[in-house]
């Protein structure tokens, strides 16, 4: 399983799929295991693709100025 590789070596993260004002807040896909990691001031959460896309859609609805940056 690819997730085991990430558990031992760490995730290899791509560019954030949301454009938050605070650079500490991001939602990135791991190019190894394919899971998404959401990071903020309180920590990091692992999400599935479905969860991440729903969250991205909700974020862009709440913060329309962030789309297209």
Q: Along the 69 residues of the chain, how does pLDDT read in single tens digits?
A: 788 899 899 999 999 999 988 889 999 999 999 999 999 999 999 999 999 999 999 999 998 887 765
Determine the pLDDT at residue 65: 80
Q: What are the CB-based long-range contacts (under 8 Å, 24+) for 52-59?
A: 52/17, 52/27, 55/27, 56/17, 56/18, 56/27, 59/18, 59/20, 59/27
CB 37 within 8 A of CB 48: no
Determine the pLDDT at residue 67: 75
């Amino acid at each position: 399983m690819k997730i085991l590789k990430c558990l031992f070596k760490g995730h290899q993260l791509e560019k954030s799929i949301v454009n938050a004002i605070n650079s500490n807040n991001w939602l990135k896909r791991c190019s190894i295991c394919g899971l998404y990691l959401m990071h903020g001031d309180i920590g990091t959460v692992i999400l599935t693709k479905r969860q991440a896309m729903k969250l991205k859609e909700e974020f862009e609805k709440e913060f329309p100025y962030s789309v297209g940056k």
